[in-house]
């Protein structure tokens, strides 16, 4: 039930069926329950990128649905394959709600935080540690105080 409640909140925050123009600030942007449940990355054309991590190569898919006029606030959905990376400075403030999969976050002081489907987490821009995942899909909201997001 917690999952459905959060979906409705997120749907309210992002309200409009099409993401054709993420920079159109005249209407709310919506992600529907059905899109979150599995057809999101087929309904919209994600930006697909290949990356390298400490455990090998992995691919990401990103559908950005909103970017503020000053390019410091961003939201969308993101899917990643298995990844492990040591992060020295996260660089942005990010709220994430995990729809599928999860991540183990091991902070520099050794504190371990397990995030799974239906969990949300916020990471501050100064966080450092290890990001370890077998793969995941998340809804994200990012704020960058220093640099515009591209």
Domain boundaries, the chain: 46-143
DSSP letters of 61-79? EEEEEEE-TTS-EEEEEEE
In the CATH hierarchy, which top-level class contains the domain 46-143? mainly beta
Residue recorded with tokens 């960058």: 144
9-35 pLDDT tens trace: 454 444 433 344 556 666 676 667 776
Please answer whether residues 29 and 15 qualify as being in contact, where contact means their C-beta atoms are separated by less than 8 angstroms: yes
117 Cβ partners below 8 Å, 6+ apart?
Answer: 3, 98, 99, 100, 101, 102
The helix (run of H) or strand (run of E) holding residue 7 is helix 2-13
52 Cβ partners below 8 Å, 6+ apart?
Answer: 58
Percentage above 70 pLDDT, the chain: 73
> How is residue 39 written in tokens?
């057809």
71-98 pLDDT tens trace: 999 999 999 999 999 999 999 999 999 9
Q: 100 pairs with which residues across the strands?
A: 137
Q: 57 pairs with which residues across the strands?
A: 52
């Amino acid at each position: 039930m917690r999952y459905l409640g959060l979906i409705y909140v997120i749907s309210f925050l992002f309200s409009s069926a099409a993401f054709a123009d993420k920079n159109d600030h005249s209407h709310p942007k919506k992600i529907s329950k059905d899109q979150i449940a599995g057809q999101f990355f087929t309904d919209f054309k994600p930006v697909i990128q290949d990356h390298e991590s400490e455990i090998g190569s992995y691919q990401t898919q990103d559908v950005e649905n909103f970017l503020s006029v000053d390019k410091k606030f961003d939201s969308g959905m993101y899917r990643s394959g298995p990844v492990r990376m040591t992060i020295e400075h996260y660089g942005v403030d990010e709220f994430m709600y995990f729809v599928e999969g999860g991540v183990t976050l091991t902070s520099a002081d050794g504190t371990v935080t397990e995030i799974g489907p239906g969990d949300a987490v916020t990471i501050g821009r100064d966080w450092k540690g290890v990001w370890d995942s077998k793969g995941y899909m998340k809804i994200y909201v990012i704020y960058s105080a220093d640099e515009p997001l591209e």
